[in-house]
A and B are shown apart, each in its own frame.
Chain A
Amino acid sequence: MTFVPPDLMPALPEIFVATMACLVLVIDVYLPEARRTTTLWLSIATLLFAALLTLATAPEARVPGFHGHFVRDAMGDVLKIGVYLSMAAALLYSRDYLRNRTLFKGEYYVLALFAVLGMMVMISAASFLTVYLGLELLSLSLYALVAFDREDGRCSESAMKYFVLGALASGMLLYGISMMYGATGSLNLASVAQAIAGKGDKTLVLIFGTAFLVVGLAFKLGAVPFHMWLPDVYQGAPTSVTMIVASAPKLAAFALTMRILVEGVAPLGADWQQMLMVLAALSIAAGNVIAIAQTNIKRLLAYSTISHVGFILLGFVAGTAEGYAASMFYALTYVLMTVGSFGLLILCGRAGVEIENISDLKGLNDRSPWLAFMMLVLMMSTAGIPFLVGFYAKFAVLQAVVAQGFVGLAIFAVILSVIGAFYYLRVVKVMYFDKAEDDTTLSVSADAQVLMGANGLAVMLLGVYPSGLMALCSAAIH
């Protein structure tokens, strides 16, 4: 056997981020406490430069690499850029939050960079082996980040829950992978698809394996009935970490679903589409209905995430290129809105004051009209009010579903979204019409304010002109 050294160029962004994560780890040790911001700016610069690098080295067509373990394609590039930007925004939003809670440490940024690397590996995975390793790299970094505030018992508790349920999910996924390997004799996703297609009839072990893969993915996405960890982790983790857990990993989970189900187990589409249909319907129903009863805003956003995950899965139920593109659009805009909403919660807090309950947002309009307006835009968009991006995302997914004849499912989703709009509007009502308990004006640093503005503006602009991003998603999927 002669060995051909792999071409490293397609993996340049991965190599860059890995190198920089190690460098940040070493540089941070030599920084005095007062110059800790250098670590933050270095991490953000790494993410932005990685985005440029990804753009600069974007290949014309799909490039496989590393002997079938890696793939570089347009879908991966778009999602990766989404990951870099949302992570950079999340790090910038949480600077003052971390500083006020003595969590402003170098390890936070190192773990965040490794989480980004894990997501990149997942997005570019072309074999079950890299799928699993990327997932573990991401999950391990996230477990540590959730437990980062070790003085706080709730953090440790939610980290423990996340760890145990995450390990269970990994076990399910591995079990499914081992069955697929047993049935097809290959770990490479493309060869698995070929082997299944070549077999003709579906064997039991394949369907069994697919079911386990779907359960593992549903756990990681947080789809009902595998959503139990989500509200507890969202509530227990420091808000800045909740923002990280809630945003970019969903892009990676979308990519994972694309790679495993659509590329790997494609010939069994009819089987997993039925499973996903049940998951999607349950998620949309449970997410929207249970959220109404929440008083804690982090738990509310967790149930909101669950219902959004349902919508992302709806695009897969459609099973067409339009459906996948709509799902991808939905995932990208969901991340944009989530980073914004959690960013706001972080900016509204001060040293010793954390925004926990919806009532903590009382009279936000009197305290900071700018932040209140941004929250209004984000909540309206998340609820799916027309002319904001959230509406178009829902519309595109439903259009793809209806085109495949699932009219009943679409009507069900619309009715529950209308029910769900109630709790988003309640947040708006509390901000604008209730009296504040303390009416000190909020002071927010200039860079965070600019970022918040850009975030809100993106939500509004994409709502009016969604065609650009939508075209990008369609082009990336085809």
Chain B
Amino acid sequence: MGFEKFLFYVFAIVLVFASVRVITVRNPVHAALFLVLAFFTSAALWLLLQAEFLAIALVLVYVGAVMVLFLFVVMMLDINVAPLREGFIRNAPLGIAVATIIVIEMALVLTSDRSGLVSGALQNYAADHSNTKELGSVMYTLYAYPFEIAALILLVAIVAAIGLTMRRRQGVRYVDPAEQVAVRREGRVRLVNLAAEKKS
């Protein structure tokens, strides 16, 4: 067993362990942290496949941005765990049965000689081979059309998120900075001419 294979199994075991913990730990914050571990080990698996750009993107985008946001939301929401777990035991046998059947079916199909999956040995590249350059050169040429559509999907997501959540609430005490800056003396100070008090 080569060192590479050894590394693969280490990462794979950690990945499976972390993924199982994501759905079994009680504390949502811990679950999110296990998800971070899962992303990190999958990034390591990408590296073994010589896809360094994807590995870095996974860490930067998912661990760096998405998971931080996720943790933030989990901490903000203060989820009560108990109601979420109701019916877990009751539904577990059915869930396990379905999952087992799916796994057995998939294994039978994929390991069969007739499965017909295209397979090939991994090509080894020189150390200075740039994965990023490869990706970039197809992303903006052959895949320009899907790339643009993906950009439009993001735009729709922005419009939808703002459209659904932004609201002007009535009765909120709010100071308009522009109005504050443009204030004039007449608006704030009123000179009242008071007659001097007379002695009675």
Q: Which A residues fall within an 8 A CB radius of B? A: 1, 3, 6, 11, 18, 22, 25, 65-67, 69-70, 105, 107, 110-111, 114, 117, 121, 127, 129-130, 133-134, 136-137, 140-141, 143-144, 147-148, 150, 182-185, 199, 201, 203-206, 208
Contact = CB atoms under 8 A, between A and B. Distances in A.
Interface stretch (B8-16, B43-51, B67-75, B158-166): B158-166
Given A105-B163, A121-B149, A140-B157, A67 B142 contact: yes
Contacts of A114: 152, 155-156, 159
Interface in B109-165: 109-110, 112, 114-118, 137, 141-146, 149-150, 152-153, 155-157, 159-160, 162-164
Interface in B51-90: none
B163 A205 contact: no
Contacts of B163: 105, 107, 111, 144, 148
Contacts, number: 92
A208 B167 CA distance: 47
A205 B107 CA distance: 11
24 contacts: A3-B141, A11-B145, A18-B152, A25-B159, A65-B145, A67-B141, A67-B145, A107-B159, A111-B163, A114-B159, A121-B149, A133-B149, A133-B150, A137-B152, A144-B163, A150-B167, A204-B109, A204-B112, A204-B114, A204-B115, A204-B116, A205-B109, A205-B116, A208-B109
A472 to B, nearest CB: 28
Interface of A, secondary structure class, is helix
A6 B142 CA distance: 9
B160 A141 contact: yes
Contacts of B145: 6, 11, 65-67, 69-70, 130
A423 B155 CA distance: 42
A133 B143 CA distance: 12
Contact of A133 (B109, B153, B159): B153
Q: Which range contains the number of B residues in contact with the other chain? A: 20 to 34
Contacts of A208: 109
Nearest to A15: B148
A129 B152 contact: no
Nearest to B165: A150
Most buried by A among B115, B118, B153, B156: B156
A150 to B, nearest CB: 6
Contacts of A133: 146, 149-150, 153
A302 B164 CA distance: 25
Given A129-B146, A204-B114, A147 B141 contact: no
B169 to A, nearest CB: 13
Nearest to B119: A182
Nearest to A156: B164
Contact of B117 (A110, A134, A205): A205
A137 B142 CA distance: 20
A140 to B, nearest CB: 5
A22 B156 CA distance: 10
A143 B144 CA distance: 26
B67 to A, nearest CB: 20
Contacts of B115: 203-205
Contacts of A121: 149
Contacts of B143: 67, 69, 129
Contacts of B157: 140
A11 B156 CA distance: 20
Contacts of B150: 133
Given A111-B163, A144-B156, A199 B149 contact: no
A5 B162 CA distance: 36
A174 B162 CA distance: 28
A185 B118 contact: yes
Nearest to B109: A204
Contacts of A129: 143, 146
A11 B148 CA distance: 13
A183 B114 CA distance: 11
Given A133-B153, A144-B164, A110 B159 contact: yes
Best-surrounded residue of A22, A150, A204, A208 (most CB of chain B within 10 A): A204
B111 to A, nearest CB: 10
A184 B156 CA distance: 33
| 5 nearest CB pairs, A to B | A203-B116, A144-B160, A107-B163, A66-B145, A133-B149
A182 to B, nearest CB: 5
Contacts of A141: 156, 160
B164 A206 contact: no
Contact of A205 (B110, B152, B159): B110
Given A69-B145, A70-B145, A150 B118 contact: no
Given A1-B137, A6-B145, A129-B146, 12 more contacts: A111-B163, A114-B152, A130-B145, A137-B156, A140-B157, A141-B160, A150-B164, A182-B117, A184-B118, A199-B116, A203-B116, A205-B115
